[in-house]
């Protein structure tokens, strides 16, 4: 190819990973086209506005701020150039069933004091736990996140070799067991085990390596981007457009075209016209669900991962999302709130192991409630509150749709939403909550399957079990199509917006044949 002919790329998906990948590819000199079947950017990090209430429809915890900072610094910019971050204090409020509420601080010294007050001796144990979490987090950043695992270099680095015995133990012991061995109080165990949900996983089946997440919330602290995660998506869109990317919404990928071992482009269907259109490109990057990409967009002979591969893997959890616009204020709640049931083993069993008599709706009684309006008044009309409720459920599309994008919610989704409202009212001391609801919209597992082509209607991505972590999570490049790469929560390094940003960076490292485990060099600030 002549040096004056610009290379072209098609990115499938306009979520966090797609927009981030487009921005980085544009910086590499590619002419980039981003396509997405829905008519808005953000993917699962979407936004829904109803009667003056503005709801995030996906992620709401801003963790790993260093990953965001680094990504924007690749372009000589900072997050502050695009959105304002508010520090949340407390990090979150905990409502244990039948126990008094507890505010969890973002400051490690205060967290240690809290733990000590709830269980004598737990303060010193938490200090040791957080020290280990920090060391593990720093090792992960250096060797296991910003890498394509194209070589074993990260595993033989002197610092990693010096920690082999520790890493093997952390990989071989589940997070739940790791925590329970150190703490007796159920509430403390739950505080340290719940981050498994951020990994779409069961605490007992999540390697204790992931205790590093406690470093991100109890030490780094919890922040909130003003405007919600939709503001983060708009920032990524801005970067992508600055780098020359064209974003085509309402444009559905129907097939990845190949010739021999090379992808030649993508077949698309436009929402506003009939027929199939062919888009040509030198490179295709799919940030769509990996199972959808492999089994729906590629012919069988071009698949790296077939149906048999996915049959032996875990799609993670799904959820019912309940978005509530509430009249009046709710001082009982903080920005982030967690309601933990006494018997949360039944919660995780219902989500991951099949029907449980104690959970007849097939939904967890340990739920998450966000009240962003306390930090960002623009999310609700004056004198009102905005609530976002996440109820974990199995990844099972047959549980049904909500009513956010359909005329009516399916009965089970509606029943789960009803139960969540009743639970919040009772546990959080808001007896009149139901009568004060002005707006209510729901999403169910079928919505995730329909809107985002997610495997089994999963809400977050494949669970971070041992066999689905690090290099075992899969490759970010097709084995059968040379110029087909992957990014997003369904490939390495994993789920969550920070991981999606890192996955975009790993696309560039793959193209450069960069086998290091270091982040790309940051640009000089303007």
Residue 242 sits in the same domain as residue 368: no
Same-domain check for residues 116 and 173? yes
pLDDT at position 2, please?
A: 46
196, 247: one domain = no
Tell me: cis bond preceding 493? Omega within 30 of 0 counts. yes
- Cα–Cα distance list, 513 to 71, 93, 263, 484, 500 (Å): 20, 45, 19, 14, 20
Give the pLDDT score at 3.
53
| pLDDT of 467 above 90 | yes
Instruction: Taking residues 416-420, report their average pLDDT.
Output: 98
Mean pLDDT (whole number) for 134-151? 94
- Predicted pLDDT of residue 4: 62
Domain boundary among 175, 198, 219: 219
Tell me: do 337 and 444 sit in the same domain. Answer: yes
Instruction: Please check whether residues 323 and 297 belong to one and the same domain.
Output: no
**Ordered DSSP codes for 482-520:** TTEEE-STTSSS-SSHHHHHHHHHHHHHHHHT---SSPP
Q: Which residues contact 269 (CB under 8 A, 6 or more apart)?
A: 251, 252, 254, 275, 276, 277
Helix (H) or strand (E) holding 87: strand 85-87
Span between the terminal Cα atoms of the chain, in Å: 33
DSSP state at residue 374: G
In a domain, 417, yes or no: yes
Instruction: Mark whether 163 and 250 lie in a shared domain.
Output: no
Predicted local distance difference test score (pLDDT) of residue 163: 86
Q: Across residues 141-154, what is the average pLDDT? A: 90
Where residue 251 sits, what CATH number does that domain have? Answer: 3.50.50.60
| Whole-number Å distance between alpha carbons of 266 and 299 | 13
Residue 524 lies in a domain: no
SS3 category, 38? coil
Contacts of residue 216, Cβ cutoff 8 Å, sequence gap at least 6: 63, 64, 137
Q: No. of H helices and E strands in the chain?
A: 17, 19
Report CA 385 to chain centroid distance, whole Å: 25
Q: Do the bridges between strand 31-36 and strand 8-12 make them parallel or antiparallel, or are there none, so unpaired?
A: parallel
Q: Do 415 and 480 belong to one domain? A: no
Model-level pTM greater than 0.85?
A: yes
Element containing residue 19 per DSSP (H, E): helix 16-27
Domain count for the chain, please give it.
Answer: 3
Asked if residue 161 is part of any domain, the answer here is yes
Query: Alpha helices of 151-303 — where are they, by DSSP H?
Result: 153-156, 158-161, 164-172, 175-180, 186-193, 213-218, 228-242, 290-292
Round to whole Å and give the CA distance between 444 and 405. Answer: 10
- Give percent above pLDDT 90 in the chain: 94
Contact (Cβ atoms closer than 8 angstroms) between residue 501 and residue 51: no
Q: What is the DSSP string of 467-480?
A: GGSGGGG--SB-SS
Asked if the structure places residue 268 within a domain, the reply is: yes
Q: Is the pLDDT of residue 117 over 80?
A: yes
Q: How far apart are CA 278 and CA 491, in angstroms?
A: 26
pLDDT 10s digits, 486-495: 999 999 999 9
pLDDT at 1: 44
Strand pairing category for 53-56 and 102-104: unpaired
174 lies in the same domain as 200 = yes
Taking a C-beta distance cutoff of 8 angstroms, is the pair 399, 446 a contact? yes
Give the pair of three-digit tokens for residue 336. Answer: 């982030």
Closest residue by Cα to residue 60 from 334, 303, 279 = 334
User: Is 201 inside a domain boundary?
Assistant: yes
- Residue 227 is encoded by which pair of tokens? 């405007």
Token pair recorded at residue 318: 């799904």
Cβ(214)–Cβ(227) under 8 Å? Answer: no
Domain containing residue 372? 317-452
Residue 358 CB partners (closer than 8 Å, separation 6+)? 343, 346, 350
Element holding 284 (H helix, E strand): strand 283-286
Burial of 465 per CB tally in 10 Å (0-12, 13-18, 19+):
buried
| Beta carbons of 98 and 339 less than 8 angstroms apart | no
Asked which of 156, 184, 219 is the last residue of a domain, the reply is 219
How high is the pLDDT of residue 276? 97
Local confidence band at 152 (pLDDT 50, 70, 90 cut-offs): confident
Coil/strand/helix, residue 188: helix
User: Which residues touch 227 (CB under 8 Å, ≥6 apart)?
Assistant: 83, 234, 376, 378
CATH number, domain containing residue 128: 1.10.405
Whole-number pLDDT of residue 222: 96
Chain-centroid distance of CA 118 in Å reads: 31
Q: Is the predicted pLDDT of residue 289 greater than 60, yes or no?
A: yes
pLDDT tens digits, 45-85: 999 999 999 999 999 999 999 999 999 999 999 999 999 99
Residue 13 has pLDDT above 90, yes or no: yes
Strand partners, 391: 320
Which residues, in sequence order, are bridge partners of residue 62? 223
Whether 160 and 200 share a structural domain: yes
Tokens representing residue 337 in the block: 């709130």
pLDDT tens-digit map of 350-400:
999 999 999 999 999 999 999 999 999 999 999 999 999 999 999 999 999
Are 281 and 343 part of one and the same domain? no
Helix (H), strand (E) at residue 391: strand 384-393
Q: Of 165, 192, 219, at which residue does a domain stop?
A: 219
Q: In what order do the strands lie in the sheet with 262-270?
A: 251-259, 262-270, 276-280
């Amino acid at each position: 190819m002549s040096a004056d002919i610009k290379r072209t790329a098609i990115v499938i998906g306009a979520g966090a990973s797609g927009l981030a990948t487009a921005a980085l590819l544009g910086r590499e000199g590619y002419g980039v086209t981003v396509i997405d079947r829905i008519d808005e950017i953000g993917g699962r990090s979407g936004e829904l506005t109803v009667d003056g209430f503005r709801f995030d429809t996906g992620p709401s915890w801003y963790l790993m701020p260093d990953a965001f900072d680094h990504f924007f610094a690749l372009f000589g910019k900072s997050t502050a150039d695009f959105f304002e971050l508010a520090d949340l204090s407390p990090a979150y409020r905990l409502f244990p069933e039948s126990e008094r509420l507890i505010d969890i601080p973002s400051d490690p010294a205060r967290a240690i004091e809290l733990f000590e007050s709830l269980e004598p001796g737990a303060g010193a144990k938490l200090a040791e736990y957080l020290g280990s979490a920090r060391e593990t987090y720093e090792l992960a950043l250096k060797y296991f996140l910003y890498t394509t695992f194209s070589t074993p270099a990260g595993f033989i680095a002197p610092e990693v070799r010096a920690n082999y015995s520790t890493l093997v133990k952390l990989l071989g012991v589940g997070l739940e067991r790791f925590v329970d061995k150190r703490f007796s109080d159920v509430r403390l165990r739950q505080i340290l085990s719940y981050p498994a949900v951020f990994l779409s996983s069961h605490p007992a089946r999540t390697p204790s390596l992931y205790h590093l997440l406690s470093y991100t919330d109890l030490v780094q602290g919890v922040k909130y981007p003003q405007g919600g995660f939709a503001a983060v998506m708009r920032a990524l869109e801005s970067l992508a457009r600055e780098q020359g990317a064209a974003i085509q919404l309402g444009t559905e990928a129907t097939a990845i075209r190949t010739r021999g071992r090379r992808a030649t482009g993508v077949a698309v269907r436009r929402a506003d016209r009939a027929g199939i259109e062919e888009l040509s490109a030198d490179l295709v990057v799919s940030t769509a669900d990996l199972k959808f990409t492999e089994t729906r967009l590629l012919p069988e002979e071009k698949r790296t991962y077939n149906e048999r591969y996915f049959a032996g893997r875990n799609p993670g959890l799904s959820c019912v999302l309940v978005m509530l616009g509430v009249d009046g204020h709710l001082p009982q709640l903080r920005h982030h709130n967690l309601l933990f049931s006494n018997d949360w083993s039944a919660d995780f069993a219902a989500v991951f192991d099949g029907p449980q008599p104690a959970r007849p709706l097939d939904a967890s009684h340990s739920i998450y409630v966000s009240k962003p309006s306390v930090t960002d008044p623009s999310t609700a009309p004056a004198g009102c509150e905005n609530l976002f409720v996440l109820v974990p459920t199995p990844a099972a599309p047959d549980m049904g749709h909500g009513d956010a994008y359909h005329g009516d919610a399916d009965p089970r989704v509606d029943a789960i939403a009803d139960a969540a409202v009743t639970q919040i009212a009772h546990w959080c001391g808001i007896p009149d909550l139901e009568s004060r609801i002005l707006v209510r919209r729901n999403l169910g597992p079928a919505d995730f399957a329909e809107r985002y082509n997610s495997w089994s209607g999963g809400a977050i991505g494949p669970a971070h079990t041992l066999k689905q972590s690090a290099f075992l999570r899969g490759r970010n490049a097709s084995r059968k199509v040379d110029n087909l790469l992957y990014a997003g929560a369904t490939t390495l390094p994993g789920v969550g917006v920070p991981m999606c940003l890192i996955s975009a960076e790993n696309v560039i490292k793959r193209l450069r044949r960069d086998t290091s485990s270091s982040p790309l060099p940051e640009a000089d600030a303007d």
